[in-house]
A and B are shown apart, each in its own frame.
Chain A
Amino acid sequence: MLPLFVRSIKFLVGGGFIFVLLIALYGTITAEKPAVTAEQEFHLHPKEDVTFSFDNPVLGKFDVAQLQRGYQVYQEVCAACHSLSLVSFRELKGLGYNDAQVKKLASDFDNHAKQPTLDPKTGDRGERGNLPSDHFPHIPYSGNGTPPDLSLITKARHGGARYVYSILTGYADQNGYKNEKGQELLREFPGAKSPPGTFFNPYFANLNIAMPKPLTSDGQVTYLDGTRATVPQMAQDVSAFLTWASEPTMETRKQTGLAVVLFLLVTTLLAFGAYRTVWAGVKH
């Protein structure tokens, strides 16, 4: 028999941890409730009232015409500040463009930024035009805030395409802004007034985004396919395009998955039959 002390170690250790936890619990209960913040009361989750062709996790596909419109919005509006550096121009073939069109799109992008070059002999830095084999060039930005790279934006934010759509369409006038409970923002939280150089957007985590409203008016982009370019339409199109940019292989993934899962279901059924056959007559 082990000495009593050794046998009681478990109770001492367990009791010790529990005791310290109870002290901590007491501390948590008696602590002052942290003040409610403006973010807690006014931050909104991405809008749910917009649908995308790729919503269905198994059957959803991209709408190629929408992706082309979305690229147009990116190219004409977003690309003034936002890079797309993980994407290559050649991948735009996934938007239904042919080689010649991709080449044109690549060189058209020269007006935003070009590919940096370095002469190994002289050390001179220069630029050359964009080619289909290039990645989208880094877009320099010197203003207020840090525009994130958009290559993975719909994967890097909760809500994905809906988040992007909500941000683009979610700007509001801060004066007199009320939440669902009817609280008025600036009355409840006078300190929440947007600092200079930022803009009120309840879909942004801290309510104040450094990006000025990018899609300001209907017809800001003239769609080549004649679709009416309302602000929600442009926002939805560019959100779809950025979803494609985040994962150009999405359609392949879903189609492959359907075949793989169906195959495995059949295999599993057969395996179940084999299992029953092997065990037939053996009670277990």
Chain B
Amino acid sequence: MSFPWARHYEPKHPLMQWVDERLPLPRFVYNAIGAGYPVPRNLNYWWNFGVLAGVVLVIQIVTGIVLAMHFHSSGAEAFNSVNGGIMRDVNGGWFLRFAHANGASMFFVVLYIHMFRGLYYGSYKAPREMVWLLGVVIFLLTMATAFMGYVLPWGQMSFWGAQVITGFFSAIPVVGEWIRVWLLGGYAPDDATLNRFFSLHYLLPFVIVGAVILHIWALHIPGSSNPTGVEVKGEQDTVPFHPYYTAKDGFGLGVFMVIYTALIFFAPDLLGHPDNYIPANGLSTPAHIVPEWYFWPFYAILRAFTADFILPAKLWGVLAMFGSILILFFLPWLDKSPVRSGNYRPLYRLSFWVLIVDVLVLGFCGGSPAEPLYVMLSQIAAAYYFAHFLIIVPIISRIETPKPLPGSITEAVLGKSA
């Protein structure tokens, strides 16, 4: 579906006509991210991050393919092939490695902003539920990919990360231990684990690409949402994606690349952990194991459950941690408010900003040692996290009186007079 006023692809050159009749790929691109896709004219900079996520995915795949050419996926050689071979001997290998490692971090920066934008502006609401659901699938796949990628350099954090994350599954009653051993291919992380993680780390990004294509496809059915949350009413509300948003995304990409390359070249180890420069040692656990920063909020939720209650604390922690992400699948049905944008929902907007603070607190606690103060903080913050999605938002969506919405996007942009 598209808006009736969407521009039509009209190949002028006979060659393009010839191609169009046989394989209408240029037409497809034209309608997807070209002049044939009408987009609300009032998108702000927060809408840049979808395209940025796509770009980072491509960067990760390209650098990853080249790094895989130099990586040895065995316990004896993985650490040296990364820290010796790639970082020292391969031509420009240090650049590829730092670009890929920091690219993972930037991927999550972009994803989180993209997701919180969706949360604030109600982009998950009808008729875009499927876009949101696919987005959560992409998020889960990205987390799995990032985790397995982090295991590959086979440093101390890689090894103990694999040990701890696969340990989640041993919380499952009866079959848990069997699942853990099956995942690892042994009783502790070893060659078998490293090899399967390498294989899957190479595969999953292409699955993500597939999910991204579905995500964009689903987006193009209703068209993009916008900061007012008011649906497009006519041609005056939209501009063609190209050149308007290609130009804006180009500028956004430039800003992103400056930050990303500054990180690669001037602070490549800033977001990493020193312990991962120590070769994996199954006989000695680092004093303070933490996952990469982008998992900290979830790690904090995991650790917040310290009390047995009917179920063992460990199982509660694992359930809550997975639950904290799975909740997102239900969000379109938890928030019943007919108004999308947080701009017109005073109570929801307040709860949104509290959630932002809450997630930052969870992140801070997840990266800190399990000392009583941080554990208390994470218990309170985790409780608020669940309260937000399962109690506060459903209630707000019923009792809130939204502010009056503009009659149309154009009206919001140009003022009533137009």
* In the complex, A touching B (Cβ < 8 A): yes
A binding-site residues for B, Cβ under 8 Å: 10-11, 13-15, 17-29, 31, 33-34, 57-58, 86-88, 91, 135, 148-149, 151-152, 155-158, 205, 246-249, 252-254, 256-258, 260-261, 264-265, 267-268, 271-272, 274-275, 277-279, 282-284
| Main SS at interface, chain B | helix
Contact B306 A14 (CB under 8 A): no
- Say whether A17 contacts B261, CB under 8 Å: no
The answer to whether B316 touches A20 (Cβ under 8 A) is yes
| Closest CB in chain B relative to A35 CB, distance in Å | 12
- Residues 128-150 of B, flagged 1 when their CB comes within 8 A of A and 0 if not, give 00000000000000000000000
Q: Which of A252, A258, A268 makes the CB contact (< 8 A) with B254?
A: A268
* B316 contacts across to A, CB distance below 8 A: 20
* B251 in the interface (beta carbon within 8 A): yes
Q: Which residue of A lies closest to B265 (CB)?
A: A257
Bound complex: CA A250 to CA B262 (Å): 14
Contact of A23 among B98, B309, B382 (CB under 8 A): B309
Is the CB–CB distance between A21 and B390 below 8 Å?
A: no
Q: Mark B369-398, 1 if CB is under 8 A from A, else 0.
A: 000100110011011001101110010000
Q: Give bound CA distance, A119 to B158, whole Å.
A: 36
Say whether A24 contacts B305, CB under 8 Å: yes
A25 to B305, CA, bound (A): 9
| Chain B residues whose CB sits within 8 angstroms of the CB of A278 once the complex forms | 243-244, 247
Flag if B268 contacts A253 (CB, 8 Å): yes
Q: For A28, list chain B residues within 8 Å (CB).
A: 306, 372, 375-376, 379
Q: Which A residue sits closest to B257, measured CB to CB?
A: A264
A-B contact count, CB below 8 Å? Answer: 167
B269 interface residue, CB < 8 Å from A? yes
A199 vs B394: C-alpha distance when bound (angstroms): 61
Give the residue of B244, B274, B383, B390 whose beta carbon is less than 8 angstroms from that of A158: B274
Say whether A14 contacts B389, CB under 8 Å. yes
- B88 near A248 (CB under 8 angstroms)? yes
Taken residue by residue from 234 to 256, chain B's Cβ proximity to chain A (1 for < 8 Å, 0 otherwise) reads as: 00000100011001101101110
**Contact: B258 with A265, CB < 8 Å?**
yes
Contact A253 B265 (CB under 8 A): yes
Taking the closest CB of chain B, its distance from the CB of A147, in whole angstroms, is 13
Contact, CB under 8 Å: B307 / A27: yes
With A and B bound together, what is the CA distance between A125 and B41 in angstroms? 75
| Bound form: Cα–Cα A58–B255 in Å | 19
Q: Determine the distance from Cα of A277 to Cα of B251 in the docked complex, in whole angstroms.
A: 12
Q: Does B320 contact A (CB under 8 A)?
A: yes
State A223–B198 Cα separation when bound (angstroms).
47
Instruction: Report chain B residues within 8 Å CB of A248.
Output: 88
B251 touches which of A29, A249, A256, A272 (Cβ 8 Å): A272
Candidates A31, A156, A252; contact of B274 at CB < 8 Å: A156
A24-B306 in contact given A14-B391, A58-B266 (Cβ < 8 Å): yes
Instruction: Indicate whether B323 reaches chain A with its CB closer than 8 angstroms.
Output: yes
Stretch at the interface among B79-87, B217-225, B352-360: B79-87
B94 near A: Cβ within 8 Å? yes
Q: Which of A31, A155, A279 contacts B277 (CB 8 A)?
A: A155
- Known interface pairs A86-B80, A261-B258, A282-B244; A254-B266 also in contact (CB < 8 Å): yes
| Nearest chain A residue, comparing its CB with the CB of B258 | A264
Q: Are A254 and B287 in contact (CB under 8 A)?
A: no
Check: B191 CB closer than 8 A to any chain A CB: no
A21 touches B305 (CB 8 A): yes
Q: Which residues of B contact A254 (CB under 8 A)?
A: 265-266
Interface contact B262-A155, CB-CB below 8 Å: no
> Measured between alpha carbons, how far is A283 from B193 in the docked complex, in Å?
55
Chain A CB within 8 A of B58 CB: no
Known A-B contacts A27-B307, A257-B264; the reply to A282 vs B258 at CB < 8 A is no
Residues of A within 8 A of B20 (CB): none
